[in-house]
Structure 1
Amino acid sequence: MDNETTKFGFTQFAETWNGRLAMLGFLIGLLTELMTGQGILSQIGLM
């Protein structure tokens, strides 16, 4: 990893972690749907 002076904004470091956390959130949402049998919107009461 490069020694960047800032860790905020559109840096390679920030974008890498953003992608990793997005994939983790998607996986958690998918597993929750499979375990409960309900979609995310119905779980939070919007449908």
Structure 2
Amino acid sequence: MTTPEDSASGSAASPAPSAANATSATSSDVPAFGWSAYAERVNGRFAMLGFVAVLIIEALSGDTFLHWAGLVP
């Protein structure tokens, strides 16, 4: 049985997660550096966000992204 003091300190109720057993929130993959499936999935998600941001910029400004960014006269 745990006492209010134990649950307040967190010592007996739930151990703190360590870096060794951390996993992704959306899959069971362990985050890793370098060329891994996890890194590619995160990179793809950021690419999708960037593409949607470009579409929003074009829709709101009424101009192409390249012209808006000053890359095309």
TM-score (ref. length: structure 2): 0.55
Cα RMSD after superposing both structures: 1.4
Which residue identity is paired with 2:53?
Answer: I
Counterpart for residue 2 of structure 1? 29
- The answer to which structure has the higher helix fraction is 1
Does residue 16 of the first structure (1) align with residue 41 of the second (2)?
A: yes
Q: CA deviation at 1:21?
A: 0.3
- Which of the pair has more CA radius of gyration? 2
Work out the percentage of aligned pairs sharing the same amino acid. 42
How many residue pairs match? The answer is: 45
Structure 2 residues without counterparts, runs of 5 or longer? 1-27
TM-score (ref. length: structure 1): 0.79
Which 4+ runs in 1 deviate beyond 2 A?
none
